[in-house]
Every structure is written in C-alpha cells, then in structure tokens.
C-alpha cells in the first residue's frame, strides 16, 4: 500500500558515472576526495568513486559553518558521503556537478597523500597500494577484469572446463634454473612455472580444460616483460593436433580481443590510439624461415639458437601484426614437445609474437608416447623418477593432445601499449619488488 509519505523516501545511492541520468534529483554518493579548491564561501571538490569523478560544489550556507570549516581542512583521499542535487554543467568533467546539501566525512586522511602528479617510478612501486587508486590504474584494472572474464566466457562457451592446479609442485616444466624452492615438505618442492602437466592429467577426465592462475619464474626480471609471478591462461585439449591447436588459439584470441575492443573502444583508444584487433588468419612462419628473414635484415643469428625478444620483436615489426613462429629446434624447447614426424630435429611448437613484447603465448603438441617421452626426459638431463606421474599419463590410454599458455599481462600490456607489464597487474612481483 502506498502511504504517500514522501518524507520517508530514502535518498537514492548513485554511482558517479550514473549521475548524468539523475539530473534534478537528490542523490547520495560515496567517494574519496581527489582535488579541492576553495574560493570565498564555496569549496569545489573533485570526488572519485570506482566509476568516475564529479565536481561537488559545497556552499557554507548549505552545509553549515562547522562542516564547511572541516571540508576546508580536508586532505586528499579523505572518504566522504555526500547528498546533493545533480545539475547539468557543460564545463564540468562528465557534464554534471553535484550541489552538496549535506556532507559527512567518513574518515579524514591523517597525513598528506604521498602520491602527487609528478611521480617518480620508485614512489609508484613503494606506494603501489595507493597507486592503484589512480585514474590510470582504475581503468587498467577494470579492463583487466573484463578481459579475463571474456576469455573465461569464450572457453566455457566452447566446452572447456576450468580446472584448478596446485601452485606448489615437485618438478620443473620449463627448466630447473627458474624455480622458486619452497622449504617445508619432505620432498623438494617449488612454486609452479606452469600448470600444463596438471592440465594434461585433467584432459583424461574432462577432455577440454583451461586454468587461469599464477605461474612463478625466478628469472632475470629487470626487463619490462618479466614478472616473478604472472597470470597464466593455459589451455589443453585431447585429440587436438598441432594444426587444430593453432586454429583454436587464433579463433579464441581474435574473437575475445574483438569483443574486448568493441566493449571498451574509448578506453583502449585512449591508451593506444593505433590499436587494431587481431585479424584472422595469423601470419605463420617456421623458425627456420624466421632465422633466414632475420639474417637478411642484418641480424647475427645462427640456426639452433633460441630467439630473444629483439628478434621476436623484429619479426612482428616486419609483418606488422601478430605472427606464429613454428617448428623450433628441439634443443631450444622443453622436453615434452612432439618432434615433427617430417623433420624430427624440430618440434611441433608455436610462439605467438607481437610488438613490442615479443612472445605472448607459447604452446604445441605434446609427446603422447611413453617411450619417446621417457627418452626425451633423460636426453634433457632430467631424472624420469621426478616425472613418474607425468609419464603415467602415457601409460593408461594415451591420446594425441596439445595446449598452450598465454602471458595475460603481456597481452594486456600489448593491447594498451603500457610501458611495462608491471602496469598490467595490481601488485607486481619482480626481483626487486615484493612489497607491498
């Protein structure tokens, strides 16, 4: 029953980005003080919440002497609850402003906010817990959340199951030198470099699987493309051969990135005006062709040496788009890669390289034969006992299978043209950054 009692109607809570839909209404916002400027008896506050920024006009006569004096002393980032009437104002950012009728200081900042506009990079890393409040990081983190959801959505729609793999493991997948040891267990244990082997185990139950979780690399990380802990999107499927893998990777990436781009065109363009969604089919060249191409461009490289970021970037620049480099020499790839039946000195592997980050995804067809895998483990200098459970997968109903791993921060940093992948993650971990 409608009692008709207007006085009891609650003031509506509103996100700042929605204020434009409430012109003339009285609303309540909750946010943090961004900038303050007092002229005469009026304070102009810029207040931010997760959705945006709005100018709030605070008049002495509206909010009272006490509150006005407190507002005048407020430091940046103080948290506020403000009720007021939304007005159109073309000069204001966002096209609206809020005329405060009441203002509550939830918690005043106790000290001057340590982050100013002129940020030296050291300050950014030390105050990372505060830096993520910045407008730039607010947008990057929203885009990151959206992109990971779009990958999940695509994979689930294509009948992949999400599987969770352990972070603490007992053996290397990508070479023992880059492992973080965890001292606690009876056995030697490490933080995982990749969940691939666990996904391989899961395909025998679920057939098509993926995971999105951190991988850990104790490697030289003073570059703009290395983190000690990064988010790894890994996909694995049974009865998928090498060609099927390339097709799947291409379909997923083009479709997810197109959807991402269409959804967030304005933000993406603000970061990277020249960005164009990936187009099918991707360029593909073999490692051997890449070496020839690099040599003809004056690069000093011999067949058999792995490609570094300089070479990968050059290949991506020559083609002007993402490129699959395939069929690497088996010596420069991990032991689990399937040798090419037509030329066993190379393996059925593919790295996707882009400008400027180089490799953003790597994968291939896996060895599915017990004997062959056993021999490759020995040849590569590892102890087959450390891989007993992984070898088991080839003992009980082995099937051809393939998969890949995508460095999520590298892809996001590429799309947004960020100066380092450290900006693509809220709390980066590198050799020199473990705090906060």
Contact pick of 271, 403, 414, 418 for ligand 4AD (by CB under 6 A) = 403
Give the shortest CB-21-to-ligand 4AD separation in angstroms.
41
Q: Indicate the residue among 77 and 351 with the shorter CB distance to ligand 4AD.
A: 351
Q: Among residues 363, 187, 353, 213, which one has the least CA distance to residue 285?
A: 353
Q: Indicate the residue among 78 and 194 with the shorter CB distance to ligand 4AD.
A: 194
Give dist(CA 254, CA 351) in Å, integer.
16
Under the criterion CB under 6 A, does residue 174 sit at the interface with ligand 4AD?
yes
Give dist(CA 356, CA 391) in Å, integer.
37
Across 78-134, the runs of DSSP E, i.e. the strands, are: 79-88, 96-107
Give the range of 269-277, 355-363, 386-394, 420-428 binding Mg ion by CB under 5 A. Answer: 355-363
Under the criterion CB under 5 A, does residue 358 sit at the interface with Mg ion?
no
In order of 124, 212, 237, 248, 436, the CA distances from 151 in angstroms are 29, 9, 16, 13, 29
Under the criterion CB under 6 A, does residue 230 sit at the interface with ligand 4AD?
yes
Q: How many residues bind ligand 4AD (CB under 6 A)?
A: 24
Give dist(CA 20, CA 94) in Å, integer.
8
Under the criterion CB under 5 A, does residue 362 sit at the interface with Mg ion?
yes
Under the criterion CB under 6 A, does residue 249 sit at the interface with ligand 4AD?
no
Residues 6+ apart with CB under 8 A from 203: 209, 236, 237, 238, 399, 401
Under the criterion CB under 6 A, does residue 401 sit at the interface with ligand 4AD?
no
Q: Among residues 244, 251, 256, 246, which one has the least CA distance to residue 152?
A: 256
Within 349-368, which residues bind ligand 4AD (CB under 6 A)?
359-363
Other Cβ atoms closer than 10 A to 228: 21
Q: Among residues 376, 369, 278, which one has the least CA distance to residue 322?
A: 278
Q: Indicate the residue among 128 and 217 with the shorter CB distance to ligand 4AD.
A: 217
Give dist(CA 387, CA 243) in Å, integer.
27
Which residues, in sequence order, are bridge partners of residue 283? Answer: 323
Under the criterion CB under 5 A, does residue 363 sit at the interface with Mg ion?
no
Three-class SS string for 281-329? CCEEEEHHHHHHHHHHCCCCCCCCCCCCHHHHHHHHHHHCCCEEEECCE
Give the range of 28-36, 53-61, 89-97, 356-364 binding Mg ion by CB under 5 A. Answer: 356-364
Under the criterion CB under 6 A, does residue 232 sit at the interface with ligand 4AD?
yes
Give the shortest CB-300-to-ligand 4AD separation in angstroms.
24
Q: Indicate the residue among 223 and 345 with the shorter CB distance to ligand 4AD.
A: 223
Under the criterion CB under 5 A, does residue 364 sit at the interface with Mg ion?
no
- Residues of this chain that bind ligand 4AD (CB under 6 A): 173-174, 193-194, 196, 217, 219, 226-227, 230, 232, 234, 359-363, 403-405, 407, 409-410, 421
- Residues of this chain that bind Mg ion (CB under 5 A): 362
């Amino acid at each position: 029953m409608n009692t008709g009692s207007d006085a009891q109607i609650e003031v509506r809570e509103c996100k700042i980005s929605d204020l434009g839909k409430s012109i003339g209404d009285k609303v309540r916002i909750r946010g943090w003080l961004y900038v303050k400027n007092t002229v005469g008896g009026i304070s102009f506050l810029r207040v931010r919440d997760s959705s945006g920024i709005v100018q709030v006009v605070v008049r002495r006569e509206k909010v009272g002497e006490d509150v006005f004096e407190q507002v005048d002393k407020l430091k940046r980032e103080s948290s506020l609850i403000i009720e007021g009437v939304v007005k159109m104002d073309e000069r204001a950012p966002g096209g609206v402003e809020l005329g405060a009728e009441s203002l509550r200081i939830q918690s005043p900042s106790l000290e001057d906010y340590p982050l100013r506009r002129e940020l030296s990079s050291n300050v950014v890393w030390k105050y990372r817990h505060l830096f993520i409040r910045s407008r730039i990081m607010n947008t990057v983190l929203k885009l990151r959340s959206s992109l990971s959801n779009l990958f999940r959505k695509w994979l689930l729609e294509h009948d992949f199951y999400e599987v969770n793999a352990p972070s603490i493991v007992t053996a290397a997948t990508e070479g023992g030198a880059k492992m973080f040891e965890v001292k606690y267990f009876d056995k030697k244990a490490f933080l995982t470099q990749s969940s691939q082997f666990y996904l391989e185990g899961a395909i025998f139950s679920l057939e098509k699987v993926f995971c999105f979780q951190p991988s850990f690399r104790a490697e030289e990380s003073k570059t703009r493309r290395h983190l000690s802990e990064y988010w790894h999107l890994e996909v694995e499927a049974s009865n998928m051969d090498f060609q099927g893998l390339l097709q799947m990777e291409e379909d997923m990436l083009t479709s997810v990135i197109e959807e991402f781009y269409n959804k967030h065109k304005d933000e993406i363009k603000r970061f990277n005006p020249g960005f164009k969604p990936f187009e099918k089919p991707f360029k593909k060249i073999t490692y051997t062709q890449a070496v020839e191409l690099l040599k003809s461009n004056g690069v000093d490289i011999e067949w058999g040496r792995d490609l570094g970021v300089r070479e990968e970037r050059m290949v991506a620049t020559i083609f002007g788009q993402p490129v699959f480099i395939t069929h690497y020499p088996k010596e420069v790839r991990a032991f689990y890669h399937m040798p090419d039946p037509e030329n066993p000195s190379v393996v059925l592997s593919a790295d996707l390289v882009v400008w400027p980050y180089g490799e953003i995804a790597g994968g291939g067809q896996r060895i599915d034969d017990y004997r062959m895998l056993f021999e490759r483990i020995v040849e590569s200098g590892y102890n087959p006992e450390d891989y007993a459970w992984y070898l088991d997968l080839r003992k009980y109903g082995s099937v051809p299978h393939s998969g890949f791993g995508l460095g999520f921060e590298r892809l996001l940093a590429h799309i947004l043209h960020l100066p380092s992948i450290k900006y693509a993650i809220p709390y980066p971990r590198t050799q020199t950054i473990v705090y906060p």
